[in-house]
Amino acid sequence: TVEASIPEQLREAWRKHSASEFTSKEQFEKELVRHIETTLARSLYNCDDNAAYSGTALAFRDRLIIEWNRTQQRQTFNDQKRVYYLSLEFLMGRALDNAMLNVGQKEAARDGLKDLGFRIEDVISQEHDAALGNGGLGRLAACFLDSLATLNYPAWGYGLRYRYGIFKQEIIDGYQVEIPDYWLDNNPWEFPRHDVTVDIQFYGTVRKTQDQNGKVQHLWENGEIVQAVAYDVPIPGYGTKTTNNLRLWSSKASTGEFDFQKFNAGDYESAVADQQRAETISAVLYPNDNLERGKELRLKQQYFWCAASLFDIVRRFKKTKRAWSEFPDQVAIQLNDTHPTLAIVEMQRILVDIEDLEWDEAWRIVTKTFGYTNHTVLPEALEKWSVPLMQNLLPRHLQIIYEINLFFLQYVERNFPNDRDLLTRVSIIEESHPKMVRMAYLAIIGSHKVNGVAELHSDLLKTTLFKDFVEIYGPDRFTNVTNGVTPRRWLHQANPELSALIAKKLGGHEFLTDLTLLDKLEAFVDDKEFRTEWAAIKSRNKVRLAQLIKETTGYTVNPDALFDVQVKRIHEYKRQQLNIFGVIHRYLTIKGMSAEEKKKVVPRVSIFGGKAAPGYWMAKTIIHLINKVADVVNKDPDVGDLLKVIFIPDYNVSKAEVICPASDISEHISTAGTEGSGTSNMKFVLNGGLIIGTCDGANIEITREISEQNIFLFGNLAEDVEELRHRHFYGEFQLDPQLAKVFDAIKSNMFGDAAHFSALTASIEEHGDYYLVSDDFNSYIAAHAVVDQEFQNQKEWIAKSIASVARMGFFSTDRVINEYADSIWNVEPLAVKD
Ligand code: PLP
């Protein structure tokens, strides 16, 4: 064994001096002061909140790294199957608070910091969010890492270490302005591994030769080499010794600092340019959510990250000296969307070109290893890469893709003879100009399981997008794993008071690792005192959000008003336009009321937040409209506190942690059939907010769990969408009369120059209303009227809130990860002994 390779005497010496972790306030203070004085070279006299943050983070980092080392040793000695989660995005947010809570030393830190003159909240808020993701897909990956560690699965995440994460959003004159998010200065959570590097090749040519035995070989030569350097981020589990690893790759030129030949020849600029070109690969996260643009640099990012990760995984496997046939018993690789699909091709290349396996044997290993998660049916989000682009950048991989396709089409032809249309439909290569590689098809063909992320979404995959593949492979390759969220961050960390109240009632915090235990709360729905405490916590969370609103927008809102929240990426399919049109409708209605009528109005604050992709004009127009409506409504004395409109700038994970616990109602109102799952819907309900939503994504399963009484559903169903669009196309479109009044108001320049918003209104009135805003408007307004009415009965409202939380047990990522482990990865947790 690996262990026996080190003499006992040596092991003993190491053990004796092995670092230990702090477990008390005093020990924490000692570590904190040591780091502030020596690592940071500060003193009592110049230690500000930021230095206190760095010192605290370093103290906790030490703890994590001790556990990290032990976990990695344990997993290596144990030598069982590991999971590798490949995701181009990890939307982690802040790490310190999470680390404190997961290792269970937050109170020691709070008290220790207080002794030294600091407030823990101020210290925590110094941290810059790690925002290496766009939205739901990236945040899901982050929640998965938390659950994998908490459940003791031997698992690694692999991603890219972007120098710039998702841009910071400022709102200037009502417009979104993007500011680069340089987040790496002062980041204590990563460990550069300058010894873990991989050379990655691009471009070049493929030469075909034969070896001594006459076997054909493909040599990929004369390419450009870029170096991948590993940076490791420790991922602590909650209440366990397991600390897993997230490995992020950073790019640099492989020839060292400069190409010295060029440098000596006086070509200084071009030597620096080469260096910069290499570093460009991991420089920036593409800021598109649910949209693929086919840019070469993006494909370079994808291959760079897949090739480095695969090399690393294979290197680790080879250390075990096992036969290749055992690879799928040791390794499960999950593809988060199609972004890492090239990993399938790279694996086949490694096995065939480098390790000399026969094609069929290699392919069996590959398909047993990979699983693919689809996140969307939106056509604009489905990845396709142009064949000429791929030919130039990755010539050998394109050959392998053609080969995979050939064998696949032969298989289809054998099983479905003489069906030319079928062959054209399912071919990995789309016969367009230029030809395109369809990445989702490649991912299906190269994986043993394909899953959607909510029941409706998985059903739609099987009946629409991937219908032919269900015919070809049978239904077993396709499955559903409904998304979830980690209750550690999204209940315990984001809403400490609610977590404490629940723990008091249930006799402990066990629900944080078994969320189904929440069902015991149902017994207290009629407990008056409990209801009062529950409502008081919601109220305090609303005050906290009101402060954030004041700080970020300057507006004062009344915390007793109904807080109505829609925060998520801005997208036509998510329909923030429906929401703001609804707000305008409410505004016009209030303006038309007598003083008597106004007394009956439930005061409301409509809160929006979310980023638009920088090139997505319609989304930016929606942001602009929301801000212009806010300008008018918020200073209209006819309305006063009855309606306020807020756009919180720069929505991110840290802000989500303040927003989610503070909603009375939140909006998940995508056109039916367009949202994969949604995860913020789960976060809001878990924090005692009710939701208004369409029958889409995981809203459907949330309804099933919490019951139809506890959710405000509206709108057309997925099964009717196609027919409605068809009718619009053939001119059978009538603008909803209430929406027409809203459009009249916009066109009267009530919210500034109507020309700014004409594309938005025209997309509905003139261009077919693809997202069915008009079709759903009436039912949306009616659902809000019911919300207003029910909110007035606070007793019932709180009862609904408690009953809903009690039934949210299903939506923990712990359940999700166990499902993946059982039905896709076939991996077992590794028990941890003290
Ligand atoms: N962005 C951030 C910062 C989040 O925290 C979340 C999830 O809570 C999302 C996006 C995804 O939101 P939704 O499921 O509403 O699209």
Catalytic annotation present for 375? yes
| Domain-located, residue 601 | yes
How far apart CA 545 and CA 472 sit, in angstroms, is 52
Strands (E), 351-491: 370-373, 384-386, 429-430, 436-438, 449-452, 478-480
Instruction: Write the residue with the smallest CA distance to atom 8 of ligand 1.
Output: 680
| Domain-located, residue 126 | no
Ligand 1 atom nearest to CA at 136: 11
Q: Which of 438, 531, 569, 668 is catalytic?
A: 569
- For residue 568, the CA-to-ligand 1 centroid distance in Å is 5
| Domain-located, residue 645 | yes
User: What is the mean pLDDT of the segment spanning 45-65?
Assistant: 95
- For residue 75, the CA-to-ligand 1 centroid distance in Å is 32
- For residue 336, the CA-to-ligand 1 centroid distance in Å is 16
H or E element in which residue 741 lies: helix 737-747
H or E element in which residue 205 lies: strand 205-210
Which protein residues are within 6 Å of ligand 1, measured from CB?
A: 135-136, 139, 568, 651-653, 656, 678-680, 683
Coil, strand or helix at 197 = strand
Instruction: Write the residue with the smallest CA distance to atom 1 of ligand 1.
Output: 135
User: What is the mean pLDDT of the segment spanning 73-77?
Assistant: 93
Structural domain count of the chain: 1
What is the reported pLDDT for 468? 98
CB-CB contact of 562 with 549 (8 Å): no
| Domain-located, residue 113 | no
pLDDT-derived band at 259 (thresholds 50, 70, 90) equals low
pLDDT-derived band at 507 (thresholds 50, 70, 90) equals very high
CB-CB contact of 174 with 628 (8 Å): yes
Structure tokens given for 305: 């990250």
| Domain-located, residue 810 | no
pLDDT greater than 90 at residue 394: yes
Ligand 1 atom nearest to CA at 656: 5
pLDDT-derived band at 275 (thresholds 50, 70, 90) equals confident
pLDDT-derived band at 5 (thresholds 50, 70, 90) equals confident
Domain that holds residue 659: 535-793
Instruction: Write the residue with the smallest CA distance to atom 11 of ligand 1.
Output: 136
pLDDT-derived band at 261 (thresholds 50, 70, 90) equals low
- For residue 716, the CA-to-ligand 1 centroid distance in Å is 24
User: Which of 288, 489, 567, 671 is the pocket-test mutation for ligand 1 (most atoms within 8 Å of CB)?
Assistant: 567
Establish how many alpha carbons lie within 13 A of residue 584's alpha carbon, considering only the half-sphere containing its beta carbon.
27
Ligand 1 atom nearest to CA at 679: 14
Q: What are the pLDDT digits (tens) for 609-629?
A: 999 999 999 999 999 999 999
pLDDT greater than 60 at residue 1: no
Q: What are the pLDDT digits (tens) for 183-198?
A: 998 899 999 999 999 9
Catalytic annotation present for 569? yes
| Domain-located, residue 748 | yes
Residue holding tokens 């703001």? Answer: 580
Pairing mode, strands 243-253 and 155-160: parallel
What is the reported pLDDT for 262? 67
How far apart CA 563 and CA 341 sit, in angstroms, is 42
What is the reported pLDDT for 10? 87
| Domain-located, residue 85 | no
CB-CB contact of 412 with 421 (8 Å): no
pLDDT greater at residue 215 or residue 802 = 802
- For residue 699, the CA-to-ligand 1 centroid distance in Å is 14
Residue holding tokens 């040791």? Answer: 330
CATH assignment at residue 723: 3.40.50.2000
Catalytic annotation present for 540? no
Catalytic annotation present for 683? yes
Whole-number Cα distances in Å, 795 to 499, 605, 775, 783: 21, 21, 34, 20
| Domain-located, residue 576 | yes
DSSP code per residue over 302-331: HHHHHHHHHHHHHHHHHTTT--GGGHHHHE
Q: Quick one: how far is CA 740 from the chain centroid?
A: 37
Residue holding tokens 């949202």? Answer: 675
- For residue 442, the CA-to-ligand 1 centroid distance in Å is 28
How far apart CA 162 and CA 757 sit, in angstroms, is 35
User: Which of 290, 491, 679, 686 is the pocket-test mutation for ligand 1 (most atoms within 8 Å of CB)?
Assistant: 679
Order across the sheet with 331-336: list the strands: 191-202, 224-236, 243-253, 155-160, 82-86, 331-336, 370-373, 449-452, 478-480
What is the reported pLDDT for 821? 98
Ligand 1 atom nearest to CA at 677: 14
Q: Which of 375, 397, 542, 728 is catalytic?
A: 375
ipTM: 0.94
pLDDT greater at residue 267 or residue 211 = 211
pLDDT greater than 60 at residue 57: yes
User: How high is the mean pLDDT of the chain?
Assistant: 96
Residue holding tokens 């699983």? Answer: 371
Q: Which of 292, 262, 519, 304 is nearest to 394 (CA)?
A: 304
- For residue 494, the CA-to-ligand 1 centroid distance in Å is 14
